[in-house]
Amino acid sequence: MKKHISIRFFFLQWIFLIIMTVCGALCYEIFFPVYYDRLKNIQVQNAYLDIEELDLAALEDYVVFTGYEEKGLSFTIADESMNPIYTSRSDSRHVIYKNIEMKRSEFSKEAQVIERNSSQKEVTKLRVIITQNDIDYYVVIKDDAFSGARGKMAEQFLVTIFIIVFGIGSFFMMIFSKRLTRPIVELTDVAGRMAERDFSKKAEENNEYLEISHLAKNINRISEQFQQSIGQVDESRDCQLRQNVRQERMQRLQKDFIANVSHELKTPLAVISSQAEMIAYVGEEERKAYLASIQEEVEKMSGLVSGLLNTTVMEHHMENVLLKTLNMKEIMEYIMLRYDGLAKKKRIHLESFLGEDCIVHGDREYVEQAVNNYMMNAMEHTEIGGIIRVTLRKEQDAVRVGVYNSGKQIPEKDVQHIWNGFYTKNRKESTECSHAGLGLYIVQSVVTMHNGKYGVENLAEGVEFWFTIPVTASPAVQK
């Protein structure tokens, strides 16, 4: 016969409450008297030690009993003539007669705590004779079992017991709850697989709980219906997708290609423009160098257009990349010469710190393209009189290229997005941007293609973009 899970939960809750109540009561009855007697024993002994240090002949000048009396202790002190020295109650004569004079034979000079049966009013008592200046003082310290202090201690003890029992009970309740809800967890797993179109697992219908059995049957029925419907939809959709995939891919490649062309042609055009303007202001030797550089840039522009197609599909097809042994120092010196005229035109201080020859294995065209994108990015975001610093150095098994420019830093919220294609927000006050946002995306693709790393760091007075490419052995030792 199947059970109802709601009834099972109801009984578990009541059992939990009953067990907590019974355990709490038993712990109180068994452990509280022992705990209380031990604590009062310690309090009485501490009170005796404090009284022993007092000058009992001038006791009226001391106030030492208040703290102990708040804890439920009472004091009776008399001299050898039974004159009251101190009593916790106002009827001192009666108290001295009852606690000292009638039981004088029970006093000794050795302090010893006397424990009484908890059913009696006096639970703990200490009788002792203290001798000071040849005068014997009779001291009685006792605890009132029915004082308010005992009630407060009982409350604290019960609260502590309740917390402990509740913690242990909650642990066992959690174990029982997990066992009780295990079928529901299994049904959740089956439903999650259905959401991922995995219909291989079926829900267990023969459960001891009626509600879960009905739910499992309904889930299995829905699973079968979904599986049939999805099969029919997938069959018709696959046919349509096969027709559209090629067309969508071609459209995307065309758009990316046009965006890359519009962006990448800016680099050689800017170099040619800056060098052409500088020809009129330089000497004959520098003019020849600028003319040669302009001619070289023009020759490269025709090849750049066809090369951009490979860059556009770089993340999908890498088979056209030609990997060769490259000297990065030579490449960086060449690039620095190209940007010398543009830096002078914009009145920017261009610095370079190039280390020893760094040999890598890569495609020179793509590597230059990555560095050019960093350089143009730095030129765009450096104010007049600013600094662009290019560094090249070895770092363990990689060559690191860094391009630093002074200026505003990149907001942290934009750092993760600037590498995405067509992300156009920049570090200027205006949100407009003069390019399509593909420069850093191309760097990302190039560096990834070469198994390198890339990144950006906000420094104290500017920003540094960097990338690394793994080093290779020098050509002299290559086979």
More confident residue, 411 or 148: 411
Domain presence at residue 163: no
Tell me what the pLDDT averaged over the chain comes to.
78
pLDDT above 70 covers a percentage of the chain that reads 77
pLDDT at 243: 65
For 119, which DSSP code?
T
> 388: which strand partners?
350, 405
Q: Which of 128, 153, 178 is the last residue of a domain?
A: 153
E strands present in 322-423: 324-327, 349-354, 359-362, 387-395, 398-406
Q: How far apart are CA 316 and CA 344, in angstroms?
A: 39
Q: Cα–Cα distance between 399 and 395 in angstroms, integer?
A: 6
Give the model confidence (pLDDT) of 257-303 as tens digits: 677 667 667 777 787 788 788 787 778 788 788 888 887 777 767 66
Reported as type and span, the H/E element at residue 109 is: none
Residue 250 within a domain: no
Q: Measuring CA to CA, which residue among 468, 287, 460, 293 is closest to residue 387?
A: 460
Domain that holds residue 355: 322-477
- Alpha carbon distance 337, 330 (integer Å): 11
CATH number, domain containing residue 353: 3.30.565.10
* Cα distance between residue 291 and residue 121, in whole Å: 116
The verdict on residue 194 lying in a domain is no
Residue 333 resides in a domain? yes
**Would you list the DSSP string of 381-404?**
T--TT-EEEEEEEEETTEEEEEEE
pLDDT digits (tens, 9 = 90+) for 394-426: 988 899 999 999 998 988 888 888 887 655 554
Please state the φ and ψ torsions of residue 333, each to the nearest 5 degrees: -65, -40
Asked, for residue 276, whether it belongs to a domain, the answer is no
In the block, tokens 């522009």 appear at 301
**At which of 153, 181, 199 does a domain end?**
153
Contact 366, 448 (CB under 8 A): no
Last residue of a domain, one of 153, 171, 192: 153
Name residues whose C-beta falls within 8 Å of residue 24's C-beta, 6 or more positions apart in sequence. Answer: 158, 161, 162, 165
Query: Does residue 378 lie within any of the structural domains?
Result: yes
Q: Is residue 161 part of a domain?
A: no
Position 369 pLDDT exceeds 80: yes
How many domains would you assign to the chain? Answer: 2
Residue 347, pLDDT above cutoff 70: yes
- pTM to 2 decimals? 0.39
**Which residues in 40-144 belong to E strands, given as ranges?**
73-79, 84-87, 112-115, 122-132, 135-144
**Is residue 265 assigned to a domain?**
no
Q: Tell me, what CATH number does 25's domain have?
A: 3.30.450
